[in-house]
Structure 1
Amino acid sequence: MKTIVITGGTDGMGAALARHYLTAGDRVTVIGRSRRKFDALVAAAASEDPSAVARAEFIAADLSLVADSRRVVNQLLAHHKRIDALVLAASFIRQHRQTTAEGHEASWALFFLSKYLLVTGLAPLLRAVEQPVIVNTAVPGTRADAVDFEDLEMVQGFTFMRSNAQQRRANELLGILATDDNPNLAYLTWGPAWLVRSSFAGEVGKGMRITAAVLGRLLGQRPEAAIRPIIRLIDDPSPGRAAYRGATQHTLTVGDRDEKDATRLAAAIEESLR
């Protein structure tokens, strides 16, 4: 029996993964904001395997809050001996700069700070298994210089495109830190090959929401289909870093200063979280 931890596990691909592994007989911890949605997915899994109820765990958290991310890490460390797979799939789209109650830029806090805290904080549980895997749903492939080290939270010049590129590159650098710490770890930055039908959570314009809903219905993949490549990667991991769009492996972005940038990023984050 594997232990699978999934952030954003009550919607879309995260929920589909949770249901898959519950029906496969594994232990699944879902981190999310909606207990109602979690109960619905567990009920669906239990209709196929009644034992799913005993193997499902829910941790309520808003991962845009550092305090919640830290609480999740502490709860998992206290109640788990191992984690076979950590899936980082929490998402909430913001087109404009917003700050959390803690003073952090909200998108940076959700899409990177929470992932940094989970990856580094849960490292002991991932080291407890022979073939651990992290699937980070940060679409691979952005500029090597996309991280603005002088203004990580983009107080100046925030745009959705800049913010998105920085998050994606930072998550690639996080993979360097994670695999340096644990050479047995498979760290995968992964994005779907095409649009996925989901609730499209976020603060976006009406036009974008309507367009996504229409295209999703007409052309989008069902979450159950979109996650098939993730399942294969979790079930048969290879140590090291890799990048995928769907089932297709992509070349990792390589810069002249990757190791130094990863170390610099970690130092900057530790300083910002003091």
Structure 2
Amino acid sequence: MRTIVITGGTDGMGASLARHYLAAGERVVVIGRSRAKFDALLASVVPSARPRAGFIAADLSLVEDNRRAIDRLMRDHDRIDALILAASYIRQRRYVTSEGREASWSLFFLSKYLFVTELAESLRTADRPVIVNTAVPGARADAIDFDDLEMADGFTFRRSNAQQRRANEVLGILATERNPALGYLTWGPARLVRTGFAGEVGTGMKVATAILGPLLGQRAEDAVRPIIRLVDAPAPGRAAYRGAEALPLTSGAQDENDAARLAAAVRASL
């Protein structure tokens, strides 16, 4: 029996993955903000699967909640076979958390950095460890503003999104250097997914999502099928995918230096 950890596992694609792996006989730990949503997830699976489901309540835009969740995972599980980083909450404007950090950077990168680096030993003990980071690959190589990671000056959704995506690709360099047996995948869906929209966005995006989702979107359970195949047969090293299609990794001459520089900046900020 494998241990599968899913952040953002109470909604959308994360919940679809949780249901799949519980039905497949795996142990699943879901991390999310809502116990009520986890209870609804449990009610949707067969009773025999429910003892294999665990829940850790956490707001992953808060560093302290991330650390508490990670400590719980390390205390309860000697081995983690798959770590699926799927938590999402879209903000089009800059927002500062109660810890004084920019919320999107905290949720979409700092949280993932902490899970990837602090659970490294738990993943190392697995036979075929894999991380799936649902950060759509393909951001340009120079998208990280090392002088202003939290974008206090000139925040835009586009800049913030590109920086998070590129930082998560670079995070794979750090992860696989420490564990050459690890498969580290940056992954995004091939097309729009019909899920509940989590975020604070403008009316235009809400309307577009409400109209286009039912017309053009794929069901969450269909969207995650490529993730399931990748988790069930992981290959060591870094890779990038849109749906089931492998993409070339964005590469630049400074990749390793950027990885080291990013790690140093994050450590200093924490």
Common fold: TM-score over 0.5: yes
Which consecutive aligned stretches of 4+ in structure 1 deviate over 3 angstroms post-superposition?
none
Task: Please give the alpha-carbon distance, in whole angstroms, between the structure 2 residues aligned to 1:270 and 1:104.
Answer: 14
Who is 2:203 aligned against? 206
Who is 1:167 aligned against? 164
Matching of residues 1-274 of structure 1 within 5 Å: 1-46=1-46, 50-273=47-270
Shift of 1:45: 1.2
Shift of 1:207: 2.1
The farther-off stretch of 8-17 and 35-44 is 35-44
The amino acid of 1:20's aligned partner reads H
Task: Please give the alpha-carbon distance, in whole angstroms, between the structure 2 residues aligned to 1:20 and 1:124.
Answer: 26
> What whole-Å deviation, never above 9, does each CA across 1:199-238 have from its counterpart, x for those lacking one?
1100011221121121111110000000000000000000
The amino acid of 1:14's aligned partner reads G
Secondary structure in 1 matching 2:50? helix
- Normalised by the length of structure 1, the TM-score is 0.98
Unaligned runs of 5+ in 1: none
Shift of 1:186: 0.3
- Normalised by the length of structure 2, the TM-score is 0.99
Task: Please give the alpha-carbon distance, in whole angstroms, between the structure 2 residues aligned to 1:261 and 1:81.
Answer: 32
Task: Please give the alpha-carbon distance, in whole angstroms, between the structure 1 residues aligned to 2:54 and 2:37.
Answer: 13
The amino acid of 1:183's aligned partner reads P
> What whole-Å deviation, never above 9, does each CA across 1:96-124 have from its counterpart, x for those lacking one?
00100101100000000000000001111
Tell me the C-alpha RMSD between the 2 structures: 0.6
The amino acid of 1:42's aligned partner reads L
Unaligned runs of 5+ in 2: none
Task: Please give the alpha-carbon distance, in whole angstroms, between the structure 2 residues aligned to 1:253 and 1:91.
Answer: 23
Instruction: State percent identity of aligned pairs.
Output: 71
- Equivalent pairs, count: 270
